[in-house]
A = this chain, B = another copy of it.
């Protein structure tokens, strides 16, 4: 297998320049040699997740994007969005890698037993630089896929599945008994819905459009609230009363949605209280912000008493909290249910070079529900 492997491979880089541009470019680099416990994976499928976009493209105003050159010399360039100067300053002049997860074939393996056992296998990988053709990783970063599972099927084995599992586990660990989830028609949202149905956890799905509500209902969702409906607050309050969902995971981050959710939680908590005290209910209400689909400030109206928390939620600190043993158990479950509970769907499969084309950049940077891009660097 090693014999087929070329000497060099392409790697995608995101670069902020000191004259106010973000560039995407390809770098040709030698295919690395693995150390004892390392393998080299030919990456065949790697998704563009919202969590990749922060490094890859978020600072750019993609409406100004243009692409020049072709093949390995392709280059994308867009102006920076205004107001980001201080935030991007540390990365000026440094070409950054991106791509947090993917899958492919192990084409080289170090001398260690664990590495040798993976040679020729299809593995899923978690890393920060998978938008490339060949990537050297430690065997611990690899999840061997079950026989018959393709790289495309295994491309999203970590971020979304572990996030969905992490939400349910966070709910249990913190003593809540049901979950509210926003942007619920996303790939992750549909996955969480399947997981909750399978595990018997009540889930309130919040969407913005009637067709998203229909989609989730067709997949068995019991509670779906459309935030564009005039009676959204009543719908949501009733669903919270029915389920006791006092923990919410919000992918939007900005605007008033989080505050509205906390307000509905408080209304549900006070349902049977004749005369609430000045500090509201004793029911603890938790909002986790795990994404920034809406980049505007979070606006919190504080009309939901004095028993609440708003926190950022990220996968990596969650996995650190539960520890390596539990993480391995969760990963094993993902591998076993990769084509059912944890299946992902992609609207577009593109090459590394495609990922630098202005119209395609404009497409994936939108993070629109139902549009999910998969890069296949081996195309």
Which A residues contact B (CB, under 8 angstroms)?
Answer: 51, 54-55, 58, 87, 90-91, 94, 253-254, 259, 273-279, 282, 289, 292, 297-303, 305-314, 316-317
A90 contact set on B, CB distance < 8 A: 273-276
Report how far A231 CA is from B56 CA in the complex, Å: 33
B312 to A311, Cβ gap below 8 A? no
Residue pair A253, B308 in contact (C-beta under 8 Å)? no
Contact B94 A278 (CB under 8 A): no
Checking B297, B305, B306 against A299 with a beta-carbon cut-off of 8 angstroms, the contacting residue is B297
With a CB–CB cut-off of 8 A, which chain B residues contact A278? 51, 54-55, 58
How far apart sit A203 and B225, CA to CA, in the bound complex (Å)?
Answer: 45
A310 with B307: CB separation less than 8 A: no
Please name 5 further chain A to chain B contacts, defined as beta carbons within 8 Å, in addition to the given A91-B275, A307-B312, sorted by A numbering.
A55-B277, A90-B274, A298-B299, A300-B310, A309-B311
A337 CB to nearest B CB, Å: 28
- Identify the closest chain B residue to A303 (Cβ): B87
Known: A275-B90, A275-B94, A302-B289. A311 touches B310 (CB 8 A): yes
* A258 to B, closest residue via Cβ: B300
Is there an interface contact between B253 and A302, defined as CB atoms closer than 8 Å?
A: yes
Asked, given contacts A90-B275, A91-B275, A275-B90, whether A312 binds B305 with beta carbons under 8 Å apart, the answer is yes
Cross-chain pairs A/B with CB under 8 angstroms, 17 sampled: A51-B278, A54-B279, A58-B278, A90-B273, A90-B274, A94-B275, A253-B302, A279-B316, A289-B302, A298-B299, A298-B302, A299-B300, A306-B312, A308-B312, A309-B310, A309-B311, A310-B310
User: Given A259-B297, A278-B54, A302-B254: A309 and B307 within 8 A (CB)?
Assistant: no
